[in-house]
Amino acid sequence: MTERQPEPLHALAFGAHPDDVEIGAGGLLRKWASQGKRTGICDLTYAELSSNGSVERRQQEAAEASRLLDLSVRVNLGLPDRGLAPVPDQIRAITHVIRLYRPRIVLMPFWEDRHPDHGMCSVLVREAVFNARIRKYETDGQESLPAHKCEHVLAYFINGQTEPQFLIDISEEMEVKMAALGAYRSQFEKEAGSVVTPLTEGYLERVRAREYVFGQSAGVAYAEGFVSHTPLLLRDFL
């Protein structure tokens, strides 16, 4: 029996770990939500190998961030942290999520990043986006969900970046974005018993500075930068 599908999403953003999407695309997701569009995040792992915090706390933080961004959906595939690989089972799981929620737009991490999981997330999502459109490709042992073709695949920046192909004004959403990131206190704040990581050493300040620089280049207060995996058709933005 075919799985019952929920209402389609305008955009579904994938991240290797809870907080990845918020770093690079939290402002855009909040902007879309404020326009009444349905948005979602799919975390591939529970980030169980993170130096600070616990899986249980990270999930609580993700729930708070989701509330602040007004997401319609957040799911976690429970794939292995630092064990992401382009193998059939992992690609099949991501493909299933794409077919289930039928997003118009898919977001993923920019493929060049110091954290290997971020780059691998991009590889997996690109494979799954392609497979999702193949009618005879099956994602489960029962009858597969119908094929789905996404209109756009956009990459957001976490640690690595290049010259953005386009910018989105998030001036009105910037403080909500930072509040959503601030929900991950176990990752970005120094607490009793925590260890020093790049995330605890002014990381959120650097994210704000990056969006400020992007914004200034476009004549606005703050902006997020993106790269399209496929050529953009301008009629979609006119």
Residue 6 lies in a domain: no
Please classify residue 193 by burial: count the beta carbons closer than 10 Å to its beta carbon, then call 0-12 exposed, 13-18 middle and 19+ buried.
exposed
The count of domains in the chain is 1
- Tell me the residue type at 218: A
Q: Give percent of the chain with pLDDT exceeding 70.
A: 95
Residue 237 lies in a domain: no
What pLDDT sits at residue 229? 84
Distance separating alpha carbons of residues 59 and 200, to the nearest angstrom? 19
- Asked if pLDDT for residue 6 goes beyond 70, the answer is yes
Q: What is the pLDDT of residues 124-162, one digit of tens each?
A: 999 999 999 999 998 875 567 999 999 999 999 999 889
The strand pairing partners of 169, in sequence order, are 223
What pLDDT sits at residue 233? 78
Residue 5 lies in a domain: no
Residue 3 lies in a domain: no
Residue 42 lies in a domain: yes
What is the band of 2 on the pLDDT scale with cuts at 50, 70, 90?
low
Residue 34 lies in a domain: yes
Distance separating alpha carbons of residues 186 and 189, to the nearest angstrom? 6
CATH number of 53's domain: 3.40.50.10320
DSSP 148: -
